[in-house]
Structures are given as C-alpha cells and as structure tokens.
Structure 1
Amino acid sequence: MKLYIKNMVCSRCKMVVKSELEKVGLQVLDVELGEVEIKTPPTNQQQMELTASLNKLGFELIDDQKSRLIEQIKTIIIEQVHYTDAPAPLKLSAVLADRLNYDYGYLSNLFSAVEGSTIEKYYITQRIEKVKELLVYNELSLSQIAYQLGYSSVAYLSSQFKQLTGMTTSAFKNLQGSKRKNIEDL
C-alpha cells in the first residue's frame, strides 16, 4: 500500500517520515520523495496518530487524487533540478507526461487551477534556487551552471535570475546567498 505525503523534499525528510511511520507501528517497505510504501494499511488509530505527528513536522498526508498528482509534479521537478547530475531535460512537459501517464495539457491545467501558478513558473523558481545554491558553493562557473541546469545560454540564465531575484548573479554571489529560501517554502 502507498501513502502520499506532501512537503517531502529531501533525504532528511525521507528519514523523518520513515521514523514517524515506524513510531505508530507501520512496517515501511520503501520511502521516496512524496510517497511511502507500507506493508499493511494503517488502522484508524494509526492514521490519526500519523496525521498528527506528520502535521507537527510540516508534512501532510494526501488522500485525494488531484492533490497527489500535484505533489508528484512538484517531486519530479525537484528531483530533476536538485538531485540529478545530468543536464536538464529538453522538454519538462514530456518528462512529466511520460512519468505520470497523463496528457501534459491536463497536468498543466490542474496545476494552475490548484496552485494558482504554472508548472513552468514552479520549475523556473526551482532552477533559480539551484543556481543560488551553486553560486554560494562557488565551485562552478556561471557557464557550467547554465549547462548543468539546461539553460540555452549564460545570458538567458542571468536574465531569468535578475527577473526573479531583482539582482544580478554577481550581486547575489557577493551576498553569499543570504536570500535563499528553503525548497519547501517555494
């Protein structure tokens, strides 16, 4: 059986969620960002305890299909941007449609209706947060960052960065990332 959990964005989240599931007596088979496979369905008591403990930690059990789909879209984008070393995919729409087995038009309309923003804006926000992270680490040049994140040019990355943050990449670098947001706050 699978449980879907909102706001899981990192490996630490996976460890915390697994721990909470085990505290209420559930046997965890697998934990991925946004979803957990357990051996048996939770009892009503386990469900109530789990819901309460996860909510205290900023997580949320998702029980309707549309919310699950939104979280899956976000999870795929986060994985693509933050946890994949390969260059960004040429067509995020194709990746989402393929991985979720839905027409991209449906996914896009659903995301916009529920989130009040587009998938593209969410993707751009995640990419810019990754750019900030890489700038703070100061290990890659701007052209290497642009390539890694699938930007067509450094100029395009710089333009998008300034549009979203209100500052140039070099000005940001000088601030040492003081304006970075947590992934889950985006």
Structure 2
Amino acid sequence: MLELHIKNMVCNRCITAVRKELQSIGLHPSVVEMGVVHLEENEVDDGTRLKLANKLIELGFVLLDSSKTILIGRIKNLIIEKIHRSEYLDVKVNWSKFISDQVFHEYNYLSTLFSSVEGITLEQYIIRQKIERVKELLFYDELSLGEIGFKLGYSSIAHLSAQFKKITGQTPSQFKKTRAIDMKRRPLDAI
C-alpha cells in the first residue's frame, strides 16, 4: 500500500474530488482523508505520478513529495481539523503538545521548520485559522460573540475581539455589519 500526501485538502468536497481524480487515472484509493491518500498500489510510476500531480494542480491541490513538506501539510491539516471540525475547543488547548504528539516530533523542531517554510509562526497560523472560523460563525449569525468565543476556546470576548481586529482590521461588530457587502473570507488552504 502506498501513502500519498496532498496539500490543500480541507473539506469533504476536496476528498470527493481527489478520490474521483485518482480513479480517473486508474489508481485505486483505499482511504482518502484530509491530506492523506492510501492507494492499493505499492508504487506509482513517474508518468502516472506526474499526471496525478498535474490533475491535482488543476483542482487547486498539491501532491507533496519531500518529507518536510509532508510534515507541514500534516500539521496544517491537524490545526484545520481541530479548529474547523471540533464542536468546542478547550480554553487550555496545549497546541505544542497536541501537534508534537500527533506527528511524533519535538515541538521546537516543528515550530522552526514551519516558520522557515511558511514565513509565519505556528502560533500565528493557529490564530489565523481561529479568526477564519470566527468570520464563518459571524457570517451565519447563529451564535453570539460570547458563544463563538466559548466555542473556539477564547478566555474572554475582549481577547477574541483584540485578535480579530489585529488580523482583519475590523472589530467583530464592524465585520458583521459589512458581511453582506463583502464576506472577506479566504479559503482555509490560503491562510
């Protein structure tokens, strides 16, 4: 069984699209998850790999090949999954422990690697993902700011509001007022 890593898979539609592309070029995926594909094949020839890489690029995905790039992709997928798919985040999420436990590397190494490749710290990436989730929840207007803060593990509304303004340049209230005009949300993989 061969394992492939694919960057920018952030939702169930991504999984469906990747599965369809794999099958269209004659590959047999046994498991397709966020960022990871397990094929029934033991190896893929260079021509098929190139064809797959090009098809994935057309769909907005990237086939990862270096171990460091794969590691960063796994870290991003873990963060996205935790923030965007969890019902509630604990205020005391120990991100360094969570990430290092999941990818089996020391956090200092992961943090340095992430910063050198992505140009931002892991902490900044986590904050940006949380703010994107706040934007989404504000846009749908089903929860109060306090409920959103609780859902995303903020210790206070003031802390959430300060981070939101620092990242977006607007307060949550200002964003809510302008959401009908300009949603200002970005795809998760572009954050």
Q: Take 1:179 and 1:48, find their aligned partners in 2: how far apart are those partners?
A: 35
Q: Could you give the per-residue CA deviations for residues 41-79 of structure 1, whole angstroms, max 9, x where no partner exists?
A: 222332121111111111111111000000011000000
Contact 2:88/2:150 (<8 A) preserved = no
Structure 2: gaps (5+ residues): none
- In the other structure, the counterpart of 2:66 is 64
Q: Secondary structure at the match of 1:31?
A: strand
Q: Could you give the per-residue CA deviations for residues 124-153 of structure 1, whole angstroms, max 9, x where no partner exists?
A: 000000000000111111111101101111
1:183 to 167, 188, 191: 188
Aligned length: 186
**Aligned pairs for 1:31-46 within 5 A:** 31-40=32-41, 41-46=43-48
Deviation at 1:171, TM superposition (A): 0.6
Q: Could you give the per-residue CA deviations for residues 138-173 of structure 1, whole angstroms, max 9, x where no partner exists?
A: 111111110110111111000110111111111100
Structure 1: gaps (5+ residues): none
2:163 to 160, 163, 172: 160
Q: Could you give the per-residue CA deviations for residues 70-93 of structure 1, whole angstroms, max 9, x where no partner exists?
A: 001100000011011132462111
2:112 matches 1:112: no
**Residue type matched to 1:132 in 2?**
K
Q: State the TM-score, normalizing by the size of structure 2.
A: 0.94
2:176 matches 1:170: no
- In the other structure, the counterpart of 2:5 is 4
Deviation at 1:103, TM superposition (A): 0.5
Q: State the TM-score, normalizing by the size of structure 1.
A: 0.96
Q: Secondary structure at the match of 2:120?
A: coil
- In the other structure, the counterpart of 2:49 is 47
- Deviating beyond 4 angstroms after TM superposition, the runs of 4 or more aligned structure 1 residues are none
- In the other structure, the counterpart of 2:134 is 131
- Please tell me the root mean square deviation across aligned C-alpha atoms, in Å: 1.1
- In the other structure, the counterpart of 2:96 is 93
Work out the percentage of aligned pairs sharing the same amino acid: 45
**Residue type matched to 1:10 in 2?**
C
Q: Secondary structure at the match of 1:178?
A: coil
